[in-house]
Structure 1
Amino acid sequence: MKGYSRFILLKLLTFLLIFSSGITAAEVKKASKGQVTLVYVEWSSEIASTNVVKTILEELGYKVEMLSVSAAAMWQAVASGDADAHVAAWLPSTHAHYFEAVKDKVEDLGANLEGTKIGLVVPAYVTINSIEELNANVDKFQGKIIGIDPGAGLMSKTETVIKEYHLDKFKLIEGSGATMAAALKEAIRTQQWIVVTGWTPHWKFSRWQLKYLEDPKKIYGDEEYIGTIVRKGLREDMPEVYHFLDNFYWTTADMEKVMIWNEEPNTTPEENAKRWVNENRDKVAKWLSFNK
């Protein structure tokens, strides 16, 4: 619940800033159509999608607050009504346990991107092709599987993989998407063997030659999708926001383009989201084509 406590603290700080500046809540609301709170996890895919959604909502006249939290806190914040939505539900497998815990308290708007995948990833020069071959090569991998943040569904799946494939000599290293990518970059630079927790879409597949290790036991599941989850009552409170989020749907190529831009120097995710929106007005128009 560490991420959720951080979320509540940020909400309190926002209130104190408004109070100390002498601006009333009514004046804040009057300045826009209202405030929309989006929660997300700092994975490259969700940074891309949440910033695109934020850009479009701001163009519609809403004040948008983006809060970075853990995966568990992201789901809980929408379920409790403290946040309006997230566009980062990896289903039906990766986030299944989060969804099951709150499914009666949220509304699932379905997929916003299809064709995702999770698993263990190695550079193409690594000469094994299956998770079953890891134990025979534990020394080459220095006994490590490089992971991401501990609250991620991908990490819990990988813990199950370690158990089911009897990878007892391997240690799952916690970190973040950024530290995982940095470790992968360094290993490839020196042509060392490395195995990381990976997912698609991700910019690393455009930058390097990589491959997923086969998962004969299907613990990581088959192809997944990323879905949109909103709080109960959003449709009645903010119908325009609700219908846009219900229509929001893009492709892996769309998302990967924004993720690659985000890796370029001297840019920000917000700037790149605006760039993508400006270059894809036809797609955005379809998302906004509903009866208001």
Structure 2
Amino acid sequence: MDKLRLSLSAFALFGLCTLFTSGVAAGSKGKVELVYGEWTTEIASTNVVKVVLEDLGYDVTITSVAVGAMWQALAEGDVDGMVAAWLPTTQQTYFERVRDQVVDLGPNLEGTRIGLVVPSYVEVDTIADLQAQAERFDNKIVGIEPGTGTMRRTEQAMAAYGLDDMKLVESSGPIMTAVLGDAIKHGDWVVITGWTPHWMFNTYDLKYLADPDNIYGGSERIHSIARKGLAEDLPEVYAVLDNFHWTPAQMGELMAWNEEKHADPYDNARRWVETHPEVVERWLP
């Protein structure tokens, strides 16, 4: 019995020491601040990068802000980076304003797309067809947060295709997908501002409306952006942001986890990192 007590005491002491040293290590290399837009793609990617940097010993803060504020904070050096820049179409206007004040590290995910999306059963195939069927859609295009690149492009598309009888409704990503799901449940017609990758394409049978005038642009990429001076101040952090790259399928796996009931994006990001060590290894300095 004495030996058992000794063993348990040693085990408890080992656990306490491990916890203490982990606490010392966390943040011992410095603080890192990342920003992102409150979109399913960026919730997934930003939390993954947070986990990776924490495991390297940094104290990482992530903050969700409006897209304009995201770029401005980076340009002014108030934050260290982001992995949420949709280029060359969706956020190009913001990028052009601060191009000389930030560092573009290139794509972290390729093959993205934005546009107007409807359930496959909707008998409309192009954006121009929406005007004649406006009443079937309750004269609404369900959008997301105002000021985003997707919403700005949609406003341009509505003008270009003469959608005078339709109104662009501002909401959020979760509200937009909730409206979509409810419409599909009842077989109603609905049109939304959509993007790929997104879990809704794995859940529902959807289609993009053709965009002959190419208002929404073609295939896009999500870029990582760093503040000026990050390479000198925190070279290891800069290297991770520079190396970070994954596929739509890999991101889609994490996004699907995040849609599960009571899901926690941070916990799921840690689960993803621990499940894919060979991918994470390529991101490290």
The reply to whether TM is greater than 0.5 is yes
Deviation (angstroms), 1:267: 2.1
Q: Does the 8 A contact of 1:203 with 1:260 survive in 2?
A: yes
CA RMSD of aligned residues (A): 1.2
1:56 and 2:49 aligned: no
Which is greater in Rg?
A: 2
How do 1:31-42 residues align onto structure 2 when only pairs under 5 Å count? 31-42=27-38
Alpha-carbon distance between aligned partners in 2 of 1:200 and 1:212, rounded to the nearest angstrom: 10
In the alignment, structure 2 segments of 5+ residues that lack a partner are 1-23
Alpha-carbon distance between aligned partners in 2 of 1:246 and 1:31, rounded to the nearest angstrom: 21
Output one character per residue of 1:228-265: Cα deviation in whole Å (capped at 9) or x when no partner: 01000000000000011100000000111111100001
CA 1:30/1:62 → structure 2, altered by over 3 Å: closer, same or farther? closer
Number of residue pairs aligned between Structure 1 and Structure 2: 262
Q: Does the 8 A contact of 1:37 with 1:64 survive in 2?
A: yes
Q: Does the 8 A contact of 2:26 with 2:57 survive in 1?
A: no
Query: Which secondary structure does the structure 2 equivalent of 1:163 belong to?
Result: helix
1:201 and 2:197 aligned: yes
Alpha-carbon distance between aligned partners in 2 of 1:76 and 1:230, rounded to the nearest angstrom: 12
Q: Does the 8 A contact of 1:138 with 1:170 survive in 2?
A: yes
How do 1:83-232 residues align onto structure 2 when only pairs under 5 Å count? 83-232=79-228
Alpha-carbon distance between aligned partners in 2 of 1:283 and 1:68, rounded to the nearest angstrom: 25
TM-score by length of structure 1 reads 0.88
Deviation (angstroms), 1:31: 4.9
Q: Does the 8 A contact of 2:29 with 2:57 survive in 1?
A: yes
Aligned residues with identical type, % of pairs:
56
Structure 2 counterpart of 1:74: 70
Query: Which secondary structure does the structure 1 equivalent of 2:207 belong to?
Result: strand
Deviation (angstroms), 1:136: 1.1
Amino acid at match of 2:61: E
Alpha-carbon distance between aligned partners in 2 of 1:30 and 1:69, rounded to the nearest angstrom: 25
Output one character per residue of 1:31-54: Cα deviation in whole Å (capped at 9) or x when no partner: 520000000111000000000000
Alpha-carbon distance between aligned partners in 1 of 2:182 and 2:74, rounded to the nearest angstrom: 38
Q: Does the 8 A contact of 2:144 with 2:172 survive in 1?
A: yes
Alpha-carbon distance between aligned partners in 2 of 1:42 and 1:31, rounded to the nearest angstrom: 25
TM-score by length of structure 2 reads 0.90
Q: Does the 8 A contact of 1:202 with 1:256 survive in 2?
A: yes
Alpha-carbon distance between aligned partners in 2 of 1:31 and 1:169, rounded to the nearest angstrom: 54
In the alignment, structure 1 segments of 5+ residues that lack a partner are 1-27
Query: Which secondary structure does the structure 2 equivalent of 1:125 belong to?
Result: coil
- Give the ranges of 4+ consecutive aligned residues of structure 1 lying more than 4 Å apart after TM superposition: 28-31
